[in-house]
Chain A
Amino acid sequence: MHENEELVREFLIESCENLDRLDRDLVELEKDPGNRERLSSIFRTIHTIKGTCGFLGFTRLEAVTHIGENLLCRVRSLELRLDEEITTGLLAMVDAVRRILASIEQTGEEPDDDHTGLIAELTRLHALPATGTREPDAVGPPSPAPRDVVPARPPESAPASDAPLAADAVPTLSGGCGGADREGDHGPALRDSSLRVDVILLDKLMNLVGELVLARNQILQFTATQIDSSFIGATGRLNLVTSELQEGVMKTRMQPIGNVWSKFPRIVRDLATQCRKQVRIEMEGRETDLDKTIIEAIKDPLTHIVRNAIDHGIETPDDRLAAGKPADGLLRLRAFHEGGQINIEISDDGAGIDAAKVRAKAIQRGIVTAEQAATMTDHDAVSLVFIPGFSTAEQVTNVSGRGVGMDVVKTNIEKIGGQVDIQTAAGEGTTLRIKIPLTLAIIPALMVASGGERYAIPQVSLLELVRLEGEQARHGIERIQDALFYRLRGNLLPLAYLHRELGLTPAGQTEDLVNIVVLKADGRQFGLVVEEIHDTEEIVVKPLSKQLKGIAVFAGATIMGDGKVALILDVPGIAQRAGVVSGTKDHAPTAAQHAAGESGADTQTLLLFQVGDRERMAIPLHLVSRLEEFPSTSIERSGTREVVQYRNDILPIISLSKFFSGEQPAAPEMRQVIVFSESGQVVGLEVERILDIVSEQVVVRRRCHRPGVLGTAVIQQRVTDLLDVHAVLRAVEPDVLEVAGAA
C-alpha cells in the first residue's frame, strides 16, 4: 500500500497543476475555438488524469473524465464546435474533478457526491449532432459501463469511436475505491510539502556548486602550505560543508526510479491483454535515486525491455501450465546501488532465449557464419540480440519484433556510460542487467599530462595503471610495423601515445619511464601512454562550445583546482583515432569480441603477413616474440642456412616463401622477419610483408594437408592460410624443437 500512497500523492500534485491550466485553456479556447494546440493540451491533460486514475482505481473520477474525454474528442475532430454550452459542461467537469481530487487528498477516498447529473449532461452534449450536418445518427448506441470499456483499450487508441456512456451505468459504480490508500490522510498540507523547481535553476545551482568545489580544491591546495591551525581548521570545515552541499544539490536532481516504473503496471497490463498472456509485475527498489538526466535517458530503453519481456519472454498461460509453471508470468524489476553505480535488473520467468535459435537466426541473417556460430559460447550467441537488425520473434507483432530495439537499448545505455548484459536460461527466463553511473554532472576522473597540458580521463573507462621503468621501459614495448604493444600479463595490449594522437610534442619524456593507462573502449582494452599521471579528482563536466564539438577525442572540459581549464578525453574517440579498436565497426565481431572480452575466450589476435607474391597467412600473435627488419647486407650464411647476428646470439632465418614454393624471391633491401622464441632458442621466419594485426574469431573453413598449414580461414573477408609454426620448425630446424620438447 505504501507504493500506492506515493503514486497517489504524485498524481495529486500533477493533476492539481494541470487543472489550473485546464481552466485557463478552456476559457481561452472558447474565445478562439480554432486553436488546435490548446485543444490538444486540454485533451492530453484529461487523458492523463483518466489514465492514471483508472490505474489507481478511482472509478468515479474515471467515469467523469472518460465522458469528458469523449466529448473533447468530438470537439477535436471538429464534429462539434466548442460553444458556450459545451465549455460550461467541460468546466463543470473540471470542477467535479477538482472536488474529487480534494477529497482524495484529504481522506484518501473519492467523495460520495452524486455525479449522475453531470455525466448525463456531458453525455447529452456528446450526443449532440455534428455541427453542420445535424444528423441524429452521428452517434452510435449506448455501450456498457465505463469500467468494462476503459481498461481494455490501449492508451494510444483514440476514443473517437467509443459510443457515449449510458448515464444509468454510473450509480452501479461503488463508492469504495480499491487503489486508494485509507491511511493516506495527509491533509491539505500536501501541496506545501513539496514544490516543483525549474530544472534550469537546478542546473544553475549545480554549476555554482561545481564552482564552489573547484574553489574549495584550490583553497585546500593552498592550505597544504600553511601552518596556522585556525586557518587549517576553517578550511577543514569549508571542505566538509562543501561536500555536503554538493551532495545535497545532487540530491535535488535525483528522482526515484519508481517515477519511470510507475507507468509499467499499465503498460504490462495492456500488453498482456493484447498478447493474451497473464503477467504479474513485481518491483523492488523503486526508491533508488537517479540523476534526472539519466532517468530521462533510460526511460525508453526500459520500456522497450519490458515490452520485449512480455511479447517474447513470457509464454501464453497454456504453454506455461504445460511447462509446469504457474499460468501467471512474473516480470520483476529490481534496482539497487552498488559501488557508485546503479544496477537495474529486469527479469522474467518466461521461456528464456534459445541460444540455438539465436544462432540459426544470426546465420540466416548473415550476421555470423555457421562456423562462427558453432564456436560461440551460449552467452556470446545470446548477446547477438544486441546487434542491429536482429530479432528472434517468429512473427512480427505490433508490439515488437521489427528488429530494432535491443541494439537501440544497448546504444542508449552505453551513451550515458552504462553497460547491458543479458543472462538467460532456456525454460527459466531471461534477466537483463543494466549498470549505469549515478550522475553525469560530476564524475571522478584520472588526471594525466602529455605535451605540457593536463587531461582528464573518466574513471569509468579506467582499468589499471602500468608503470615501466629502466630496462622494462626501453624494451617492454614491442613493435609490429607501426603498431605498438605491451605484454600485459601475457596478452598483447595495443598502445597509443596520447601526445601523438593529439599532435603534440612531448615535454621532457625520458626513455626510462613509460606510464601506461589501461583503458577499455567498446569492450576492448588498450593502453594510452602518457607522460605523467596525477591524482584522481572529482571533476565538473562542462560541454565544449560548438566550434569544438566536432573533435571526437574530447568529451568536454573542466576547471582544475588551480583555475586552469583541462580537457576531458573521450576514450572511445581516442581509441578510434589511434586505430586500436577497429575503426569501421563490423558489428558481429565487435559484439562477439565484447562478450569474449568478458569470458576471455574465442577471439584471437592474429598477425597477418604475406608469403611469396600473394599468399596471405596468419599466426596467433601470442606465439610471436618480436618483429624485426634486417638489412640484406647483415644476413650471413652458416652452411646452407641464412643467419643473422641478433642480440648477442645467432638467429637462423627460414624463408617461408622458400619453404612453401621451393624458390626464394629476389631478396629485398630490408628483410621482414618474425622472431619466435622457444625455451631460449630463437628462430626467425622471413616473410615478404607484414600486413596487419586483427582480432577476430577464427573459424577454420577447410582442413589442409599441405605441410606447414593448419587450415584455411576467411579473415578480413579474404582467404588466409593459418601457418603451423611448429610443423615448419620441425621440418627445417628439428634440433630447435627437440630442445624445446625436452625443456
Chain B
Amino acid sequence: MSTTPSLSAAATGSRQFSTFYVDGLYFGVEVLKVQELIRYQDMTRVPLAPGVIRGLINLRGQIVTAIDMRRRLDMHEPPADRLPMNVVVRTDDGAVSLLVDEIGDVVDVQQEQFEAAPETIRGRANDLVTGVYKMTGRLLLVLDVERAVSVERPGARAAA
C-alpha cells in the first residue's frame, strides 16, 4: 500500500512480484502487498456466505477470510485430493487469504516487459487482471488484489 517503495522501484524500472498458479494461469501480486505465504490451514465454514468464501482461518490470533481463487475466477473446481495454499494479502480491510493451487517464486520484472491486459482475456479474469508482464517463456498476470477480494454482498447473492 505504501507508495514510496513502489515509486523508487518504478524509478529503477524493476518491480518484484510474488507469484502463484491458479488452474494453470500464472499470477503475480506485488511483493509489498503480500503479508505471508502459508500452507493449507483448517478452515471454519461460513454458512450463507458467497461460494467464493471458503471459510475463516486463524492466523496467529487474527481471523482471516479465505477466498477461493478458482471460484473467484470462475474456473474448474480443483481435484479433491489437492489442498490449496494461502497467499495472505494486505487489503484496505485487513488481511485476506487467497487460496491458490501452488506458490511460485518471487520474480523481478522490468517496466518494458509490461503490457496492459489484452482484451481477449476471457471471463472473470478480465476484471481482475490489470496487466501482463511478458516473461521468458510465460506470461505473468498482475492481479488486482482489492478487486479480487471484493466479493459481492452476501445478501445480494442470497436473493439471487
Determine which of A504, A547, A559 lies in contact with B63 in the assembled complex, contact meaning CB atoms within 8 Å. Answer: A559
Contact between B154 and A453, CB atoms less than 8 A apart = no
Q: A547-B151, A565-B63 are in contact. Are A554 and B46 (CB under 8 A)?
A: yes
How far apart are A265's CB and chain B's nearest CB, in angstroms?
43
Q: Which of A207-215, A377-385, A611-619, A729-737 contacts its partner? A: A207-215
Neighbouring A residues of B93 by C-beta, 8 Å = 545-546
Chain B positions within 8 Å of A550 at CB level: 153-156
User: Are B58 and A211 within 8 A (Cβ)?
Assistant: no
Tell me the nearest residue of chain A to B47, going by C-beta: A502
* Contact pick for B48, options A210, A503, A546, A564, CB 8 Å: A503
* CB <8 Å contact, B44 and A564: yes
CB interface residues, B 60-81, toward A, < 8 Å: 60-61, 63-65, 67
Q: 1/0 per residue A533-564: CB within 8 Å of B?
A: 00000000010111110111110010100011
Q: Does A567 contact B (CB under 8 A)?
A: yes
Interface centre among B43, B44, B45, B57 (most CB of A within 10 A): B44
Q: Footprint of B on A, CB under 8 Å?
A: 207, 210-211, 214, 451, 453, 502-504, 542, 544-548, 550-554, 557, 559, 563-567
Once the chains bind, are A559 and B58 in contact (CB under 8 Å)? Answer: yes
Q: Across the interface, which residues of B come within 8 angstroms of A453, CB to CB? A: 44-45, 47
Tell me whether B137 is interfacial, beta carbon within 8 Å: no
In the complex the two chains form, is B61's CB within 8 Å of A214's CB? yes
Asked if B143 CB lies within 8 Å of chain A CBs, one says no
Measured in the bound complex, the distance between the Cα atoms of B49 and A559 in whole Å is: 19
Q: Which of B46, B150, B153 has the most CB of A within 10 A?
A: B46
CB contact under 8 A between A551 and B42, given known A210-B61, A557-B63, A565-B56: no
> Residue of B at shortest CB range from A554?
B46
The answer for the CA separation of A207 and B156 in the assembled complex, in Å, is 32
**A551 x B58 contact (CB < 8 A):** no
Q: Chain B: which residue is nearest A502 at the CB level?
A: B47
- Is B53 a contact of A548 with CB atoms below 8 Å? yes
Chain A interface secondary structure, helix, strand, loop or mixed? mixed
Residues of B within 8 A of A564 (CB): 42, 44, 58
- Residue on B nearest A559 in the bound complex, by CB: B58
B154 to chain A: which residues have CB within 8 Å? 547-548, 550-551
Query: Is B96 an interface position by the 8 A CB rule?
Result: yes
A175 to chain B, nearest CB (A): 57
List chain B residues, Cβ under 8 A from A547: 49-50, 53, 65, 67, 96, 149-151, 154
A147 to chain B, nearest CB (A): 53
A567 CA / B58 CA spacing, docked (Å)? 12
Q: Which residues of B contact A552 (CB under 8 A)?
A: 155
Contact B151 A551 (CB under 8 A): no
B57 — nearest CB in chain A belongs to which residue?
A: A565
CA distance A550 to B49 in the complex (A): 9
A211 touches B61 (CB 8 A): yes
A548→B156 CA distance, assembly (Å): 12
Instruction: Return chain B residues, CB-CB under 8 Å to A566.
Output: 44
Tell me whether B94 is interfacial, beta carbon within 8 Å: yes
Verify A551–B48 contact, CB threshold 8 A: yes
Which 7 pairs from chain A and chain B are nearest by CB? A502-B47, A211-B61, A565-B44, A565-B56, A545-B65, A550-B155, A550-B154
> Assuming A210-B61, A550-B154, A557-B56, is B47 touching A504 (CB within 8 A)?
yes
Name the B residues within 8 Å of A207 (CB-CB). 61
Does A548 contact B58, Cβ atoms closer than 8 Å? no
Known interface pairs A453-B45, A553-B47; 16 further A-B residue pairs with C-beta atoms within 8 A, sorted by A's residue number: A207-B61, A503-B48, A542-B63, A547-B154, A548-B49, A550-B153, A551-B46, A551-B154, A552-B155, A564-B42, A564-B44, A564-B58, A565-B56, A565-B63, A566-B44, A567-B44
